[in-house]
Structure 1
Amino acid sequence: MTKNISIADLQVLLAAGGVNLVDVREADEYASGHVPGATNLPLSDFLERYGELDKEKSYHIICQSGARSAQACAFLEEEGYDVTNVAGGTSAWMGDLE
C-alpha cells in the first residue's frame, strides 16, 4: 500500500530538511519548474536508472498531479524501496518553483 503525503505536509518536511525528493516528470517539464531541492529521474528512464536510488534511504516521489509518481512508487515498493507519493504534485505546490 503506497504511502501518500499532502503538498502542505511535504512543505513542512522540506523546511525541516533531510527529504529526498524525486521528480519523475520528463526533463523538459522539470526544467520548466520544479519544487526546490527535487532531483529529476524521468519516468521514461526509470527502468534503466532507478538503481541510482539508495535502498537505505526513504524517498518522496512527485510529478505534475500525482498519477505518474504513484506508478513510480508502486514499482519502487515492489523493488524494496521506502517511498511516499506526493498527492497533488507540483500543480498543488504553494511556493515558487525553481
Structure 2
Amino acid sequence: MFSIFKKKYDSISAKELSERIERVNLIDVRETHEYKTGHVPKARNISMGDLLKNPAKYLDEKEQYHIICQSGSRSSRTCEKLASLGYHVVNVAGGTGAYPQALKK
C-alpha cells in the first residue's frame, strides 16, 4: 500500500564509499567552485543542474553511478530524479562533509 513512497535508489554512507572508492563511478554534483575547494578522489564533477538537464549526455543507463554532494541533500534529490528516469544510482549520504579521508584539491 505504501510502496509508492519507497525510494527507487540505494544510499550508502561516506565511510562505505571510502571502502569501495576504487570500484565505483562517482559523480560530484556540486558547483565547480565547491568541487575545487576539495573533493573525493576519483569524483567527476558534473553540477546537479547540468546533470539533470541532460543526463543522457553524461550517463550510460547500463552503468551504476554513486552521486555525492556536500551534505547529501543535492545528491539525494539528484538520485530521486535520475532513478525515476531509469538510471541506476546510489546516494552517498553525508556527502563530502562526512568523507573520512582527505579530500583532493
Within the alignment, does 1:86 sit opposite 2:77 as a pair? no
Give the share of equivalent positions with the same residue, in percent. 47
Within the alignment, does 1:47 sit opposite 2:52 as a pair? yes
Give the alignment's TM-score, normalised by structure 2. 0.86
* Larger-Rg structure: 2
Within the alignment, does 1:59 sit opposite 2:65 as a pair? yes
SS at match of 1:9: helix
Alignment partner, residue 33 of structure 2: 28
Q: Which runs of 4+ in 1 moved over 3 A?
A: none
Counterparts of 2:64 and 2:51 in 1: how far apart (Å)? Answer: 17
Counterparts of 2:35 and 2:54 in 1: how far apart (Å)? Answer: 17
Alignment partner, residue 4 of structure 2: none
Q: How many residues align?
A: 96
Q: Deviations over 1:32-56 (max 9, x none)?
A: 1100000011012123332111111
Within the alignment, does 1:5 sit opposite 2:19 as a pair? no
Q: Deviations over 1:28-83 (max 9, x none)?
A: 00111100000011012123332111111101100000000000000110111111
What are the ranges of 5 or more consecutive residues in structure 1 without an aligned counterpart?
none
SS at match of 1:75: helix
Give the alignment's TM-score, normalised by structure 1. 0.92
